[in-house]
Structure 1
Amino acid sequence: MDRGTEVGTTPSRGAGNGTAEHTAVGRVPLAVVLVDRGGLVSHWSTGARRLFGTPKEDAVGRLAADLLPVSGALPEDDDAAPYGAYAAYDGLGPGLETSLDGRLAYPAAGRARLSAGDGERIDVLWWAYPLVGPGRERLLVLAADAAALRLGDQGDPDHPDGHPAAGAGIERIAPGFALHTDFPGAEELARRLPEILPSMSVGESARIVAQVLELGYPVLEFSQNDRVPVTPDWGVPRRAERKARRARAARAAASGEPVPQDDQDEGTDLEYVAVRERLEFLNEVSGRIGTSLDLAQTILEVSRAVVPRFTDVAGTYLREQVVAGEGFHDGVPDTTTMWHRVALEHTDEPGRWDDVVPVGEAMPFPAHTPFFQCMTTGEPVLVPRISEQMGHMIAAQFEKRDIRPLITNRSMLVVPLKARNVVLGFMILLRHPERVEFNDMDRVTGAELAARAGLVLDNARMYTYQESVAETLQESMLPHIAPRMAGCDIATRYLPGTLLGRVGGDWFDSVKLPGSRTALVVGDVMGHGLNSAAMMGQLRTAVQTMAALDLPPAQLLRNLDDLAQRLGDTYLATCLYAVYDPIAGELEIANAGHIPPVLVHAGDGRSELLDLPTGAPIGVGGVPFESVRVRVTPGDRLVMCTDGLVEVRGEDIGVGLATLCESAAHPAASMDDACDTIIRSLNTRGGRKDDVALLMARLNGIEPEDVAEWRLALDPVEVGRARAVVREQLHAWDLGGLTDNAELMVAELVTNAVRHAHSRRIDLRLVRGDTLLCEVADDDHTLPTLLSAGPTDECGRGLRVVSTLAREWGASRTGAGKSVRFELTLPRRC
């Protein structure tokens, strides 16, 4: 095509092979080809005609494999051998042929030498992008002539194979990809790419451009060696070269000739360059790792920081306890220590390592391996070349898999990841056979790299461990509420705050009360952290204890306020306490500085904020609390939450309350769906930093026909009457299978009530709900206790019988005296 685009160059991946780094920007004409899902060319630009010599009318509709170097494999001739070796080393990925049947899910690049129409050979660089989504286009191919990218003198033109003459420059160019986030000209590239895709709709062009920028923009990686001193293998001159320079300088000094300036300065310059390159590399790596306290993200950052610049393969192993986020003994690892492979980065073709050494596998390492030596000594282990014998020894650890082709003849460096003299893991670094092997300076560099990475990993590990402890503490303090209580269904949600406030003081609870009633509680200790969570645990326990005493809501908050002042004056808490009576169809609510609840009416779907006396937060002291009674109907829903759900910094809380009312009234298929609707509506506004507790109760009520009540006289003969009315009512409810046990237990409770009551009134009630509930109330305030009766004792066996036969039993004080109750499980209905 006629147009061009700016193609940047990046540091060569072969820098470890004695190559130099360059940075350049220029305009390179590109050929643009689109391949459809059938593997046929659907677009052939003017640049493609100029590069490949085929007119557009002859190219469109033909198989792309016949016109392009789609395989990525170079011709098997002498001219292509240098390029073929380099392509194999660089691991440029699979050829384009795999994309024609839809298997290519990543960009690919390659280099090939092709025959032009006039008999000449052209050196082609190409990039290929898979296209996903609507449209017939399946593949975008960009190509360029490498001859236009020469860096200098390429060789001796008289040489029959075109090989460079002695002392001339040696150049290598390879296509590659770079993420657009690293490319300052991404916006300009996005604007220009549609210009090189003529005869396409705006939508199709935008789709292709978006995918190209997502997968990576084309770059050229090149390097050259020439007469300018370029240090091989990380800038470290070989010992023989240093000796040769010193010998030349000595001979020149002995003969009285001046010492060549190159021999005077070259050693110093090369050592300086070597040190500078390593420091720059370490500084660059240090800046790229540790950007997150997430352990998994940190592991990926460490692995990707060294590939491909320092090594070609990097496998990271961590102790089992580190992966689990647990603490561990600070001792030396042994042959039983399990090591998890948590990351594997490489420059080989995608998928080559996945099946043989999958991420996530755990294994121990025997004592004769270099890995065991590294983990026990805490020092790097250098293997210049993995011999066949060592490859076989290492491969023996991998059952039913042959890893030898992947590691044999490669250079290996094993570096420990440790912090505070404790080995957390290690990294296995491998270089391709064509690359210069690791040396002693690489060992030092790897050790420094591992030391920095170990500290970052340890910070992430400690954070993960502390976060796990905090979450466990928070979860242990939050109750596991049953989804069904007497006459109501309950659903809850808890959302932690920001990473700095994963542990907070928000809580919810429900408590079973006498008379088939249920107490519903939501509270919020002001502040975050472990102290707030501990205070929350104390208050929640106190609320449960006082609720079991059946205190009125206002009196309960009064006692809770007194307790908070005794615990200390540094914490405040808000609390909303409601008691639901499903038989009377009534809520009794008291508020201690909390946001009001929302009541959603079942009849018309209308929602309203209940108008309650606000009261002061728990811990202020000296402030009265008031209770309010609210009539409810079956199907109404009560929504109680903490202010973290509705309050956003910089926004009036009234906006959040209005959104809460609106989302609570939204119809939902279930209670869980209704809670999720509220969370989605309020949690997407952004700016939330506080934790959230949400409790929703659907107030189903108990129908009058499911309740039976009797008033008994204070007379022993009433025991027989109680047995008779219970038997009759159970048969009416078709619960005859419960008659024997129910009669026996009712007789025991009524007998105790007749014996200890002070007036002539005993109340007996049966409630049919999820269970059969029986309550016997009298005016005696002394609660019964479970006794151990001896063979000759005449008393003490009644409650033992109740405790044995009942599903659940209990006693509590009431305003008039006490109430003793038991429950029986209802038979399954067929």
Structure 2
Amino acid sequence: MSPVHPLDETATARAVIDGNGTLIHWSEGARRLLGHVPEEVEGRPAAELLSPAGSAPPAGSAGNRWNGVLALRHRDGRVLSVWVLAHRLGQDEGWLVLTPLDGRAPRTLDDPLIRAVLAQAPCALAVYDERLRLYGLNDAMSEVVGLPEDRIRGLRVSEIGDRQPGEQLEREMAEVLRSGRGRDVETYARTGGEDRAHHWLARIAPLTDTHGRVLGVCVAAHDFTEQFRARERLQLVNEASVRIGTTLDVTRTAQELADVCVPALADFVSVDLLDPPENGGEYRVEPPAAPITLRRAAHQSVNPGSPEAVVAPGDVDVYPASSPQADSLIAGRPLVAPNADGTLEEWLSWDPLRAKRIREYGIHAGMSVPIRARGRTLGVAVLSRFRRADPFTADDVLLAEEVTARAAVCIDNARRFSRERQTALALQRSLLPQSLPRTAALEAASRYLPAARAGVGGDWFDVIPLSGMRVAMVVGDVIGNGIQASATMGRLRTAVRTLADIDLAPDELLTHLDDLVVRLSAEAGSEGVTGEVGATCVYAVYDPVSRRCTLASAGHPPPVVLTPDGPPRPIDVPPGPALGLGGLPFESVDLDLPEGTVLALYTDGLLESRERDVDSGLRLLCRALEQSSQSLEGAAHSILQALLPPGGAPDDVALLLARTHGLAVSDVTTWDIPADPALVAPIRRQVADQLDVWGLTVATFTAELVVSELVTNAIRYGEPPIRLRLIHDSETLICEVSDSSHTAPHLRRAKTFDEGGRGLLLVAQLTQRWGSRHTPEGKTIWAELSLVGEE
């Protein structure tokens, strides 16, 4: 029953016959035509209404529509020759049989509807009256419908063609009839009894008389299948440019290619790629030779779970020369099956499992498209159809080539990025410390995480033992990413260690490091590249004797400090300019740190997030540090878990945690030395006595020699006041001699008859390491003696 005119049933005789040939519906119009009431015929075989001399019933016909003249028996015994139109309701669901009863009155050119048709509709058109029943149509529309006008006059749209699109069109026609305003409707339907549907543009216009009264509607039909397909192809290409290549991940890009093509171009798509060449090389320019080993990167189907797939993502399969994958890769062009050379099943006869899937899912068409970029073959995409009835056309091949070519460039870019990322990551990890040194001043834990999706950056950290049991901590971040950033990071880390060895104060060290970055920037510019090298850095020196920490920053996020008796807080260190600006001063700040204080140094990748601001990230860092500070390794894990998203950080992250330890007062001894060479012997005895108190008598001989040489040099070449300090822990004994002179000693080769010049050489041979450092009051010469292995 029409949803537009539910009471207009008497104008058409309608009957529904099920798949077994039984009448299951008999309309009032059918009663008017043959006289039988529904109770008499419903549930009985429809063949009983046929005259023995009549034609075969529609249930025996092929196709989805049948029309012809049947000899039907009237209730009063008469035989009527009736033209009927029958539509198949569905596979094995029966037929709808109908014939018009009204609307067969002759038309004249004086009729206002006919005049409107001639004046307003020059193409394939039909005119429907105020009941939306066919009043007339021209020859072009009759050809489209595939039925003569005199047979279907009086039928509705849903009774002439496909029911579902017909009912939709009826609703639009009713709205035009009601409003008096025309409209365009796009629909997809079969006409003329064809098996293939077409895309139609129905232009519906109201027909009015001279008084403006709406008498009916005119429907002009335009087959715009080609335009629709061209629009679909353009839309698919545009969608591919947006959806493919959203990440620099090869597997994800392959999946995006499969997702875009289903269901717009195929019902099942598989993407198989060649494994990258060994040692990071390039793919070959020449086509591969069969058999070809491919790895399944992605697949997609209109069926959930892709049950048509034979190979799982990540698995490897070998394709012989007779396979569509190998044939298209060797030919270097798309191949479509079935073609003139054979059927799709014959093409896949090499693989019984694939042939079974073809039969199981009804796959009737396949297309294999090579994935090529920059003249090199990367893999192959195979497109299959089973739900869509139409085969692949030449336009489909061009469209598949266009979409695959776009995906190929994205896959190649992702592959190149992955290769460069792995190289940069390997370089980055090789330049970072493999383990942190064990010192008496502090215990430390560190983490480095590369960016999840971007290129590897230049974040670094380091812990550097200094003289006097002191230790330096540094965390830095080179601007940019990739191999260049990793290489720059390595140069800066080396420079920091070199500058730390000469015991520069933090602000002075950053000044020298800034000069180096300026020179690196100038060198980069001379090579014709960006010419911009920059970095941020925080450098801290902790002295376990005084338990004082000195920090300086070059545009770096402030470190966080957690004392044993207070909450965590960021250190108010002057931020300073970033490295590479040149000529700007750096300032340092001094902090007294109680025993067990935890310092957290990090790069900005730890705090930055699209979901929160930097202050919120800093609060999260402080909370995580406070809740898990009992273990530095546990605290590092908790901090990363609290601040980083599940998918990984958008930027590189370097984190360094350190818990400070102080040396006991009893482990440090200091003497003021008069500038008298005669007192060197008593000083040696004092040193021996102190070592005996510490239980280090095994090191007495060496310590006496070293102290004697250093004190003698200070008395002879230095300036008062002179001070001697001994520091020890379980592994090291340190001898330090300080004076007010700024002249640093150095090793020299003594000649045979020289009376001096061998003292520092002796110190260098007897100690683990030695050196000098400048202080605000002058300089300090120090030497370290290893206690490990001494008995």
TM-score normalized with structure 2 length: 0.57
Where does residue 274 of structure 2 map in the other structure? 319
Where does residue 422 of structure 1 map in the other structure? 376
Match of 1:451 among 382, 405, 416: 405
Once residues 388 and 576 of structure 2 are traced to their aligned partners in structure 1, the CA distance between those partners, rounded to angstroms, is 78
Once residues 273 and 749 of structure 2 are traced to their aligned partners in structure 1, the CA distance between those partners, rounded to angstroms, is 56
Where does residue 393 of structure 1 map in the other structure? 350
Where does residue 474 of structure 2 map in the other structure? 521
Matches within 5 A, 1:476-515: 478-480=432-434, 482=436, 484-493=438-447, 502=455, 504=457, 506-515=459-468
Amino acid in the other structure paired with 2:734: E
Where does residue 542 of structure 1 map in the other structure? 495
Contact 1:783 1:811 in 2 (8 A): no
Where does residue 695 of structure 1 map in the other structure? 656
Instruction: Pick which of 226-235 and 313-322 moved more.
Output: 226-235
Once residues 652 and 276 of structure 1 are traced to their aligned partners in structure 2, the CA distance between those partners, rounded to angstroms, is 44
Once residues 328 and 592 of structure 1 are traced to their aligned partners in structure 2, the CA distance between those partners, rounded to angstroms, is 44
Where does residue 124 of structure 2 map in the other structure? none
1:375 aligns with 2:329: yes
Contact 1:171 1:223 in 2 (8 A): no
Amino acid in the other structure paired with 2:368: V
Amino acid in the other structure paired with 2:384: L
1:405 aligns with 2:368: no
Contact 1:172 1:224 in 2 (8 A): no
Contact 1:375 1:426 in 2 (8 A): yes
Amino acid in the other structure paired with 1:581: D
1:820 aligns with 2:745: no
Paired residue secondary structure (1:550): coil
1:639 aligns with 2:600: yes
Amino acid in the other structure paired with 2:372: K
Where does residue 192 of structure 2 map in the other structure? 227
Amino acid in the other structure paired with 2:505: P
Contact 1:491 1:695 in 2 (8 A): yes
1:560 aligns with 2:513: yes
Contact 1:774 1:822 in 2 (8 A): yes
Work out the number of aligned pairs and report it.
572
Give the 3 Å change call, closer, same or farther, for CA 559–796 of structure 1 in structure 2: closer
**Deviation per CA, 1:539-579, whole angstroms, max 9, x where unpaired?**
33322111011222233233334444444586665443211
Amino acid in the other structure paired with 2:474: V
Once residues 655 and 371 of structure 1 are traced to their aligned partners in structure 2, the CA distance between those partners, rounded to angstroms, is 53
Where does residue 362 of structure 1 map in the other structure? 316
Paired residue secondary structure (1:814): strand
Give the 3 Å change call, closer, same or farther, for CA 524–767 of structure 1 in structure 2: same
Where does residue 547 of structure 2 map in the other structure? 585
Give the 3 Å change call, closer, same or farther, for CA 426–762 of structure 1 in structure 2: same
Once residues 224 and 323 of structure 1 are traced to their aligned partners in structure 2, the CA distance between those partners, rounded to angstroms, is 54
Paired residue secondary structure (1:406): helix
Contact 1:79 1:161 in 2 (8 A): no
Contact 1:550 1:812 in 2 (8 A): no
Once residues 441 and 616 of structure 1 are traced to their aligned partners in structure 2, the CA distance between those partners, rounded to angstroms, is 60
Contact 1:542 1:560 in 2 (8 A): yes
Contact 1:786 1:796 in 2 (8 A): no
Deviation at 1:317, TM superposition (A): 0.7
Once residues 231 and 284 of structure 1 are traced to their aligned partners in structure 2, the CA distance between those partners, rounded to angstroms, is 27
Once residues 230 and 587 of structure 2 are traced to their aligned partners in structure 1, the CA distance between those partners, rounded to angstroms, is 76
Paired residue secondary structure (1:316): strand
Where does residue 775 of structure 1 map in the other structure? 734
**Deviation per CA, 1:30-84, whole angstroms, max 9, x where unpaired?**
xxxxxxxxxxxxxxxxxxxxxxxxxxxxxxxxxxxxxxxxxxxxxxx9879xxxx
1:300 aligns with 2:252: no
Give the 3 Å change call, closer, same or farther, for CA 330–478 of structure 1 in structure 2: farther
Once residues 632 and 820 of structure 1 are traced to their aligned partners in structure 2, the CA distance between those partners, rounded to angstroms, is 26
Where does residue 212 of structure 2 map in the other structure? none
Cα-Cα RMSD: 5.7
Once residues 564 and 300 of structure 1 are traced to their aligned partners in structure 2, the CA distance between those partners, rounded to angstroms, is 43
Paired residue secondary structure (1:629): strand
Give the 3 Å change call, closer, same or farther, for CA 306–767 of structure 1 in structure 2: same
Match of 2:244 among 270, 276, 289: 289
Contact 1:386 1:412 in 2 (8 A): no
**Deviation per CA, 1:290-313, whole angstroms, max 9, x where unpaired?**
444443332112112333454343
Deviation at 1:644, TM superposition (A): 5.9
Where does residue 288 of structure 2 map in the other structure? 333
Paired residue secondary structure (2:276): helix
Deviation at 1:585, TM superposition (A): 1.9
Contact 2:424 2:486 in 1 (8 A): no
Paired residue secondary structure (2:468): coil
Amino acid in the other structure paired with 2:442: C
Deviation at 1:342, TM superposition (A): 0.9
Amino acid in the other structure paired with 2:252: Q
Deviation at 1:606, TM superposition (A): 2.7
Once residues 636 and 411 of structure 2 are traced to their aligned partners in structure 1, the CA distance between those partners, rounded to angstroms, is 38
**Deviation per CA, 1:107-153, whole angstroms, max 9, x where unpaired?**
xxxxxxxxxxxx989xxxxxxxxxxxxxxxxxxxxxxxxxxxxxxxx
Give the 3 Å change call, closer, same or farther, for CA 381–423 of structure 1 in structure 2: same
Give the 3 Å change call, closer, same or farther, for CA 421–672 of structure 1 in structure 2: same
Amino acid in the other structure paired with 1:605: G
Once residues 393 and 748 of structure 1 are traced to their aligned partners in structure 2, the CA distance between those partners, rounded to angstroms, is 87
Once residues 532 and 162 of structure 1 are traced to their aligned partners in structure 2, the CA distance between those partners, rounded to angstroms, is 72
Once residues 709 and 765 of structure 2 are traced to their aligned partners in structure 1, the CA distance between those partners, rounded to angstroms, is 13
1:344 aligns with 2:299: yes
Match of 2:59 among 139, 147, 159: 159
Where does residue 728 of structure 2 map in the other structure? 766
Once residues 478 and 613 of structure 2 are traced to their aligned partners in structure 1, the CA distance between those partners, rounded to angstroms, is 21
Where does residue 769 of structure 2 map in the other structure? 810
Give the 3 Å change call, closer, same or farther, for CA 786–330 of structure 1 in structure 2: farther
Deviation at 1:375, TM superposition (A): 1.8
Once residues 360 and 802 of structure 1 are traced to their aligned partners in structure 2, the CA distance between those partners, rounded to angstroms, is 61
Amino acid in the other structure paired with 1:629: D
Give the 3 Å change call, closer, same or farther, for CA 748–455 of structure 1 in structure 2: same
Where does residue 600 of structure 1 map in the other structure? 562
Amino acid in the other structure paired with 1:813: S
Once residues 324 and 453 of structure 1 are traced to their aligned partners in structure 2, the CA distance between those partners, rounded to angstroms, is 24
Deviation at 1:371, TM superposition (A): 2.5
Amino acid in the other structure paired with 2:550: E
Paired residue secondary structure (1:820): strand
Gaps (5+ residues) in structure 2?
A: 5-17, 22-41, 45-55, 68-85, 93-186, 201-220, 523-531, 717-721, 751-757
TM-score normalized with structure 1 length: 0.55
Give the 3 Å change call, closer, same or farther, for CA 466–715 of structure 1 in structure 2: same
Give the 3 Å change call, closer, same or farther, for CA 120–288 of structure 1 in structure 2: farther
Contact 2:670 2:724 in 1 (8 A): no
Where does residue 73 of structure 2 map in the other structure? none
Deviation at 1:227, TM superposition (A): 1.4
**Deviation per CA, 1:181-229, whole angstroms, max 9, x where unpaired?**
xxxxxxxxxxxxxxxxxxxxxxxxxxxxxxxxxxxxxxxxx98644165
**Deviation per CA, 1:6-50, whole angstroms, max 9, x where unpaired?**
xxxxxxxxxxxxxxxxxxx99xxxxxxxxxxxxxxxxxxxxxxxx
Paired residue secondary structure (2:256): helix
Contact 2:191 2:197 in 1 (8 A): no
Matches within 5 A, 1:60-75: none
Where does residue 261 of structure 1 map in the other structure? none
**Deviation per CA, 1:394-441, whole angstroms, max 9, x where unpaired?**
46xxxxxx5552257954422101122211110123344995655666
Once residues 745 and 336 of structure 1 are traced to their aligned partners in structure 2, the CA distance between those partners, rounded to angstroms, is 74
Amino acid in the other structure paired with 1:376: I
Match of 1:576 among 538, 550, 554: 538
Deviation at 1:471, TM superposition (A): 4.7
Where does residue 187 of structure 1 map in the other structure? none
